[in-house]
Amino acid sequence: MKILFVLGSLEEKKNGVADYVLNLTDGLEKLGHETVIISINDYKNINLKTEEINNTNNSRIRISSDNTIVRKKNIINQFIQTFKPDLISLQFVSFSYHQKGLPFNLLSILNGIKHIPLHVMFHELWVDYRNTKNLKKYILGIMQKYCLMLIIKSLKPQIITTTIPYYITRLLPYKAYLLPLFGNIKPIDYVNLTKQKNELNVVFFGSFSPNISEFILQLKWLKSYSELHKLNIKLNVIGNNGIHKEESLFQIKEILGRHVLNYIGERSSEQVSETFLNADIGISRANYKYYGKSGSTIAMLEHGLPVILRGQKPVNFFKEDLLNSFENQLIFTTNSFENLPIKQKVNSRQMQIAEKFISMINENLVQ
C-alpha cells in the first residue's frame, strides 16, 4: 500500500506528532508498505529564499508556513499525481496547522484529495470550554469544535481514529476507532546498570504540566514512599521540559531537596532509553483520562516502568484496547505507600501498532 501522511510540522524531537509519524512510517515500511510524509505548515530548517520545500530523500517533504494556501495546495496536488497514494493519512492537531488553533484553511489546502481514501488521526480535539470561566477560551473551544466537525463533514474520511477512549465519546456522532500510541523512545538492547543500593531512581521525561499543585502531590507521594522504605531519591529530569520548567524544578528542590535533582536535559533516544531502564519509577504530566495520548508516558510504560499519574484513580474508567492496557503499572497519588508495582518486561509496541493501523485501514476500505 502507498500511504501519504500529512501533518503540520516535521521537526524531529521537537514535535510529538512528527516523532510518532516518523516511527509509524518506519514500522509500515518494515511491513512492506511505501510511505511519504508532507508537512504543510513547517517553520524551521526550511530554506525560504530558494525553495519552499526541503525534500531530503523524496519521501519527506516540508512545506514552509510562509507559503500561500494556493501554493501549498498546488504542491500537494502535484505530488499526489506523481506518487498516486492508495491512502492519505491526515494527522490532526489544530495548533500545528494554525497559530490560533483554527485551521479552516485545511479545507482549501486539502480540497483536491477527495477522490482518494482518507484516514484522519485526531491526536488532539478542541480546547475544553465547558467548565471554563475564561471567555476567550470558551469562544476558542466552540470555534475549534466547529472547525473540526466541518473538516470531517467536508473531507468525509473513510476512517477516523484517535488515541484515547475519552476522545471517541467526544467525536460522536461520528464513528471513531481507538488506535493507541506507541512510545516515542525505542528501547535499547543493552543497558549499563548504574542503580545504587538503597536508591529510588525516578525519571521525568518531556514537558512539565501547568498543574503545579498536582505535581507537588506527586513529589510528596514519592517523598512519603522513600521515607517509609528508607530509600534515597534520585530524580532524573530529561528533555527541554517546556515553559513550566523553572517552577517545577523549584518544587523538586523545595520538597525533595536540592541534592535529589539530576537535571540531564536533552539527550539522544539511546541515552533516554538507558535512563528509563535504570529507573524504578516514572512521573507523568498526565492524568488517567489523558495518559494514553502522551508519547513520553507511553515510552516509560513500554520500558516496563511503574508510572505515577496526576490526580486520583477514577471510580469508573474506560476498558481500553489490550494494546493500550498498562493498568498494573499505573500509580496514583492516593495509592498506598507500601509497595511499588513490579517493574515489567520491556515491550515496544511500534510494530504491533503499525500492523493494527494497516488492519483497520483494510477493514474500512473494504466496507
Q: Which residue has the cell 517552577?
A: 247
Distances (CA, A) of 91 to 17, 96, 124, 163, 331: 8, 10, 10, 11, 30
The three-state secondary structure class of 320 is coil
| Helix, strand or coil, per DSSP, at residue 139 | helix
Task: Please answer whether residues 163 and 131 qualify as being in contact, where contact means their C-beta atoms are separated by less than 8 angstroms.
Answer: no
What phi and psi, each to the nearest 5 degrees, are found at residue 166? -60, -40
Please tell me the distance from the alpha carbon of residue 116 to that of residue 127, in angstroms, as a whole number: 30
- Report the C-alpha gap between 166 and 201 in whole angstroms: 32
Q: Which helix (H) or strand (E) holds 318?
A: none
Domains in the chain: boundaries = 2-182+354-366, 199-331
What angle, rounded to 10 degrees, do the helices at 245-256 and 212-228 form? 30
Give the orientation angle of helix 350-366 with respect to helix 16-30, to 10 degrees. 80
Task: Give Cβ neighbours of residue 367 (< 8 Å, ≥ 6 apart).
Answer: none
- Please give the DSSP secondary-structure letter assigned to residue 112: G
* DSSP 8-state class, residue 48: T
- Residue 24's region, left for phi above 0, alpha for psi from -120 to 50, else beta, is alpha
Sheet-wide strand order for 199-205: 261-265, 232-238, 199-205, 281-287, 307-310, 330-331
Distances, alpha carbon 159 to alpha carbons 55, 111, 155, 170, in Å: 29, 17, 11, 16
> For position 56, what pLDDT does the model report?
45
Helices (H) and strands (E) in the chain, counts: 11, 13
Q: Report pLDDT for 366.
A: 62
What is the residue-level pLDDT of the chain in tens, covering all 367 positions?
999 999 999 887 778 899 899 999 999 999 999 999 999 998 755 544 323 444 445 588 888 888 888 888 888 888 888 889 999 999 999 999 888 889 898 988 888 787 899 999 999 998 887 877 788 888 998 999 999 999 999 999 999 999 998 899 999 899 999 999 998 888 988 766 666 778 999 999 988 988 899 999 999 999 999 999 999 999 999 988 889 999 999 999 999 999 999 999 889 989 999 999 999 999 999 998 889 889 899 999 999 999 999 988 776 655 554 455 788 899 999 888 877 888 889 988 899 999 999 999 998 886 5
pLDDT at res. 51 = 39
Spatial CA neighbour of 282 closest among 307, 262, 301: 307
- Contact yes or no for 225/305 (Cβ under 8 A): no
Query: Is the distance from CB of 207 to CB of 285 less than 8 angstroms?
Result: yes
CA nearest to 184, candidates 282, 61, 301, 321: 301
Q: Report whether 266 contacts 275 (CB < 8 A).
A: no
Q: Is the dihedral of CA 119, 128, 319, 350 positive or negative?
A: positive
- Choosing among 3.40.50.2000, 3.40.50.720, 1.10.490.130, 2.60.40.10, the CATH entry for 2-182+354-366 is 3.40.50.2000
Listed in sequence order, the residues at least 6 apart from 359 whose beta carbon sits closer than 8 Å to its beta carbon are none
| Cα separation values, 335 from 85, 89, 111, 312, 363, Å | 49, 40, 51, 9, 41
Q: Do domains 2-182+354-366 and 199-331 have the same CATH topology?
A: yes
**Secondary structure of 244-276 as H, E, C letters:** CHHHHHHHHHHHHCHHHEEEEECCCHHHHHHHH
Return the CATH number of the domain spanning residue range 199-331: 3.40.50.2000
By C-alpha distance, which of 340, 292, 344, 334 is closest to 310?
334
Q: Which helix (H) or strand (E) holds 42?
A: strand 34-42
Query: Which pLDDT does position 47 carry in this prediction?
Result: 45
| Three-state secondary-structure class, residue 43 | coil
